[in-house]
Structure 1
């Protein structure tokens, strides 16, 4: 199948590219800042998801579209993609959503955008596959700042951490079977750990000089953001407040039975990285 990957330069997309290519698919990679020299074996088309002319060019001659983006304009971007796909005989669209994306949780803006995007896909008339993965193991490095490992808030909820490779294998298998069409899948790893438990394992292997994972109270973080004028910190606090209280939704039985269950634990993944 000829698959256009939108958001191809993202961290999670790299294993998706590898697995889809390994399965014999022809890929075109689309992203604003993507560089052709980094992907010598694939067709690379730089572009902006908010520009329909860029999407027209990228979709021309392709069979399917995989969407793996994270932007405040996500629902608008997916709406653009679907409108172009409808006029280009696209036979399948897959979309990376999130493990807490439900109607009840759509009050939170980031989740609301993904929920709206899901509804656009479902009403498009194009066969779709919606994947709702939980937290990726690759995201743990983002919690290391200035030689310290800190978690915002208490974060008591258990998460079924998944590796991007295990997720990519499920996605690739889905592209090989019609039974996966018009379905929503929760992609969860084989074990559940709190954010702190996962980060403690991560720093022991990758940052052994860090002796302790800290918990920064939201009140203190908001004060620091206000005093310092740190807009990035101010913008990210609500996301961690949301995840502190919002558990994963659904279960992974359907996807595991159809596409195979992820088997990589965090310890396995860390050992592979050493």
Structure 2
């Protein structure tokens, strides 16, 4: 009777996927000389592939090596596994889900450290979307970290971040983009809204007494906004104030008062 035994190759996914396909080949030898393996290579519709190994003399001396011939998209493979035909009679190949981190950083033009980033992230590889977890998200720091999974080549993955909520008083660069590798990060800038309000002194008798002493208060729909250099005394007929932190300049009303 022809000596015959079965060697089983099992597929394991790091993310517990049950994608029902194993594409694998098997080669066996007994102390150097090859022995016969039927059905190699093969693709199965389950998570195991069974091979029949025949013509050996001592099964404990037969070493079989399995090689994955087709790695599922979005995964990398341990590649090969090996074991004796007896008593092991099988080995396992692991597919690990490709995973990387993309970091979005918030930067304020006025060096504010307001601890909030509200941002979404979308990534594509060759035009096809890849999975991004935790998007959108709001963090309590100046960075947001996203996990990007299921890609084939990280250098071909482009990720675009979009700020979903701009802090009051700032304008936003809106989006930023970069490759998942080697960069893996981009920065969104919030610029403090800033404008200038000028108060001019006019004399009815055309005097040019070079002094303006004035204060300025501004509000936007009833809420005060920041005015720097108020009150101030200038040595000319005008005083320039910087008004910051507003949302819509057309809704900001400023009132100047001569203090002397």
Tell me the TM-score normalised to structure 1 length: 0.19
Look at both structures and tell me which one has the larger radius of gyration over its CA atoms: 2
Greater relative contact order (CA < 8 Å, ≥ 6 in sequence):
1
Tell me the TM-score normalized by structure 2: 0.19
Compare the two structures and name the one with the higher helix fraction. Answer: 1
